[in-house]
Amino acid sequence: MNTTRRGFLTAAMAAAAHGQLGAQESGHDHQEVPSDLTLRVKALESLLVEKGIVDPAALDALVDTFEHKVGPRNGARVVARAWADPSYKKRLLSNAPEAIAELGYTSGQGEHMLVVENGPKTHNLVVCTLCSCYPWPVLGLPPVWYKSAPYRSRAVIDPRGVLAEFGLQLGEDVELHVWDSTAELRYLVLPERPSGTENMTEDQLAALVTRDAMVGVAKVPAPRPGGNE
């Protein structure tokens, strides 16, 4: 990382000016001015690296982890294994961190996790009312809406209303549990396995599982006839 803060800002301005020029020439934008936040983060990063406080290689490794190694695909693998293997599911529900580590997902912010199971008459929804605690090893970083004040407050005050806004209408006979995550304990929803998936392989099952279903704001949709296989 050789970029100085001034150098970066100059380059950003030049790129932005070029983008405007390009837009005039071709009728569409090529480059947008980085947001204030992006510029601030970049400036801070440059400074920390320049002063030798942060090792750029360590920073690259961290970014690589969150871009490529940690994310909801990990959680989808855990869910698919639980659907396919009853003994794994039992281990997952009784000791989530250990069962999740069996699949190799052991990064930080997941030392204490609880997996809660959805069924025909039970639905679980996860929120962090205080901030944005989230099970990183299995879901990666939380989406913007999870961190938003309206979701954090309304998921508790009016969970059925929130679910309806996500497109999920729960029957009156379905018991709804809302779990408030903390830095000490984070939750992962084990969604209900949809019908029509009886003959699917674990890979095919994992492909069906969405992040939203593992937070509890959606169900895993049944596979389309003729699709997904």
Catalytic annotation, residues:
128, 131-133
Cβ-contact 123, 166 below 8 angstroms: no
Q: 């025909």: which residue's tokens?
A: 120
Pick the piece of the chain touching Fe ion (CB under 5 A) from 48-56, 123-131, 136-144, 147-155. 123-131
DSSP letter for 70, please.
S
112 binds Fe ion (CB under 5 A): no
Residue 115 interacts with Fe ion (CB under 5 A): yes or no: no
Q: Does 133 bind Fe ion (CB under 5 A)?
A: yes
Q: Is 213 in the site for Fe ion (CB under 5 A)?
A: no
Verify binding: residue 128, Fe ion, rule CB under 5 A.
yes
Q: Where are the alpha helices (DSSP H) in 2-84?
A: 5-26, 36-50, 56-64, 72-84
Handedness of CA 145, 114, 71, 75 (dihedral sign): negative
Q: Of 14, 21, 101, 131, which one interacts with Fe ion (CB under 5 A)?
A: 131
Binding of Fe ion by 206 (CB under 5 A): no
- With CB under 5 A as the contact rule, which of the stretches 50-58, 72-80, 122-130, 209-217 interacts with Fe ion? 122-130
Pairing outcome for strands 122-127 and 113-117: unpaired
- Which stretch of DSSP H or E encloses residue 133? none
Q: Judged by CB under 5 A, does residue 189 bind Fe ion?
A: no
Residue whose structure tokens are 């002063």: 51
CB of 216 to Fe ion, least distance (A): 16
Comparing CB distances to Fe ion, the nearer of 70 and 80 is: 70
Q: Considering only 43-51, 68-76, 130-138, 212-220, which stretch makes contact with Fe ion by CB under 5 A?
A: 130-138
> Which residues 6+ apart lie within 8 Å of 132 measured at CB?
142, 146, 147
Binding site for Fe ion (CB under 5 A): 128, 130-133
